[in-house]
């Protein structure tokens, strides 16, 4: 049971570990649909890695592991994926540089990617239906962009993604506000782990475009995680220390209801997905400008809602100074013309 406390938003104890149902539905469907297509050895090794993640989540839901202990479990699962299943990023093609063989860097880059995405999804699981809905949007976009634009030719990857979407869609009515059951860390860690694995299937030989698209698709959890780290560093707090200043907390503190907050964040996830669809049709310059515009717009939004802190608005303050300077110059010019 997930009991209320100072950091949680639920008012009553709530059944948790709903992620077990998602895990079972996803894997039963995979084995039924893909038993003749998916490489059997890789399927079983991936299943083994999933079991490590599920075990970590169940233990965390029961006795609440320390962040380092939780990440150790994900790290062990990532090792299985990297060394046994062979899911890894090996090369990177950069503009003006060409193809770079990652070599020994393949290991830390792949492991860090899995840890980062898994933890990011885990962090946004703070409201009824939030992580479930955002994950559905991100996974649907990943399936479409991967199949049509990123040359992920293995059809079984798309099938697996849609199997997970179906499992999440079946769970969402019971998880949406007012929830009857929570994902628990069992669910959020599993979903994040699978999203990381799926995205790596399109990043084996990464280019600038194939690298940026999954990052944009998972913009909501990545943004929340990056700014949580920045916020805690600026406030001289441990990075692993939980707080009530995540994206969903800030929106609720601004006056939105629980359900409104979730729907707003769904909308933000959809915007990120639409931006991701623009990259395959953009030139190198267009991709650069699109990325720049996305980052500027994101920073303005973050400062407006005070995700880092109400008094930390460097970009907004710069815009205000430039606007005041422009207005002052215009007034001086008008005064000079009158004379």
Which residue in this structure is represented by tokens 């792949």?
110
Tokens of 173: 């009515």
**Least confident piece of the model among 7-11, 46-50, 135-139, 185-189:** 7-11
Domain extent at residue 98: 19-213
Task: Give a yes or no: residue 25 inside a domain.
Answer: yes
Q: Three-state SS across 184-233? A: HHHHHHHHHHHHHHHHHCCCCEEEHHHHHHHHHHCHHHHHHHHHHHHHHH
Residue 154 has pLDDT above 80, yes or no: no
Residue 63 has pLDDT above 70, yes or no: yes
Residue 281 has pLDDT above 90, yes or no: no
Residue 7 has pLDDT above 60, yes or no: no
- Confirm whether residue 60 is marked as ligand binding: no
**Cα gap 300→313, rounded to integer Å:** 8
DSSP state of 8: -
Task: Give a yes or no: residue 277 inside a domain.
Answer: no
Say what the pLDDT of residue 209 is. 72
**Cα gap 247→221, rounded to integer Å:** 9
Number of domains comprising the chain: 1
Task: Give a yes or no: residue 326 inside a domain.
Answer: no
Alpha helices for 80-129 (secondary structure H): 106-124
Say what the pLDDT of residue 150 is. 64
pLDDT digits (tens, 9 = 90+) for 94-134: 766 677 888 899 999 999 999 999 999 998 998 999 999 99
**Cα gap 183→134, rounded to integer Å:** 13
**Cα gap 297→301, rounded to integer Å:** 6
**Cα gap 197→184, rounded to integer Å:** 20
pLDDT digits (tens, 9 = 90+) for 312-335: 888 999 988 888 877 666 666 666
Task: Give a yes or no: residue 26 inside a domain.
Answer: yes
Say what the pLDDT of residue 8 is. 54
The model's pTM: 0.88
Which residue in this structure is represented by tokens 């649909």?
33
Residue 2 has pLDDT above 60, yes or no: no
Say what the pLDDT of residue 199 is. 85
Q: Which residues contact 50 (CB under 8 A, 6 or more apart)?
A: 23, 27, 77, 190, 193, 194
Residue 172 has pLDDT above 90, yes or no: yes
Beta bridge partners of 14: 2
Burial environment of residue 143 by CB neighbours within 10 A (0 to 12, 13 to 18, 19 or more)? buried
Q: What is the mean pLDDT of residues 129-155?
A: 83
Residue 185 has pLDDT above 60, yes or no: yes
Handedness of CA 81, 58, 179, 128 (dihedral sign): negative
DSSP state of 2: B
**Cα gap 4→63, rounded to integer Å:** 15
Task: Give a yes or no: residue 297 inside a domain.
Answer: no
Task: Give a yes or no: residue 54 inside a domain.
Answer: yes
**Cα gap 182→200, rounded to integer Å:** 27
Residue/partner pairs of 72-77 with CB below 8 Å, 24 or more apart: 73/189, 74/114, 74/115, 74/118, 74/119, 74/189, 74/193, 75/111, 75/115, 76/52, 77/49, 77/50, 77/52, 77/53, 77/114, 77/193
Task: Give a yes or no: residue 144 inside a domain.
Answer: yes
CA dist 203 to 151, 180, 278, 294, 298, Å? 10, 37, 18, 22, 25
Task: Give a yes or no: residue 130 inside a domain.
Answer: yes
**Cα gap 215→141, rounded to integer Å:** 12
- Confirm whether residue 235 is marked as ligand binding: no
On the question of a cis peptide bond just before residue 215, with omega within 30 degrees of 0, the verdict is no
Q: What is the mean pLDDT of residues 82-100?
A: 79
Side-chain-facing half-sphere of 258: CA atoms under 13 Å: 13
Higher pLDDT, 160 or 150: 160
Instruction: Supply the mean pLDDT for the chain.
Output: 86
Q: What is the mean pLDDT of residues 25-37?
A: 85
């Amino acid at each position: 049971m997930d009991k209320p406390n100072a950091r949680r938003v639920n008012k009553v104890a709530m059944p948790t570990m709903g992620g077990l149902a998602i895990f079972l539905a996803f894997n039963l469907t995979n084995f039924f649909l893909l038993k003749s297509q998916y490489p059997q050895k890789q399927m079983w090794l991936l299943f083994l890695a999933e079991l490590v993640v599920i075990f970590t989540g169940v233990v965390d839901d029961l006795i609440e592991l320390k962040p380092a202990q939780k990440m150790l479990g994900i790290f062990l699962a990532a090792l299985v994926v990297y060394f046994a299943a062979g899911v890894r990023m090996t090369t990177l093609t950069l503009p003006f540089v060409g193809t770079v063989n990652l070599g020994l860097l393949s290991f830390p880059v792949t492991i860090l990617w899995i840890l980062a995405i898994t933890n990011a999804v885990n962090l946004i699981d703070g409201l009824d239906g939030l992580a479930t809905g955002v994950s559905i949007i991100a996974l649907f976009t990943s399936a479409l962009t991967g199949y049509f634009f990123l040359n992920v030719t293995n059809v079984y990857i798309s099938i697996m993604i849609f199997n997970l979407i179906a499992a999440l869609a079946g769970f969402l009515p019971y998880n949406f506000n007012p929830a009857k059951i929570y994902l628990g860390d069992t669910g959020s860690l599993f979903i994040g782990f699978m999203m990381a694995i799926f995205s790596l299937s399109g990043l084996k030989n990464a280019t600038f475009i194939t690298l940026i698209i999954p990052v944009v698709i998972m913009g909501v959890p990545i943004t929340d995680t990056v700014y949580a780290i920045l916020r805690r560093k600026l406030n001289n707090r441990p990075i692993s220390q939980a707080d009530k200043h995540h994206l969903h907390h800030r929106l609720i503190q601004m006056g939105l209801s629980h359900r409104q907050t979730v729907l707003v964040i769904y909308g933000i996830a959809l915007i990120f997905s639409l931006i991701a669809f623009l990259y395959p049709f953009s030139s190198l310059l267009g991709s650069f400008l699109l990325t720049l515009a996305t980052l500027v717009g994101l920073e303005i939004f973050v400062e407006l809602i005070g995700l880092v802190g109400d008094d930390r608005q460097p970009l907004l303050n710069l815009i205000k100074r430039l606007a005041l300077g422009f207005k002052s110059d215009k007034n001086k010019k008008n005064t000079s013309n009158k004379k």
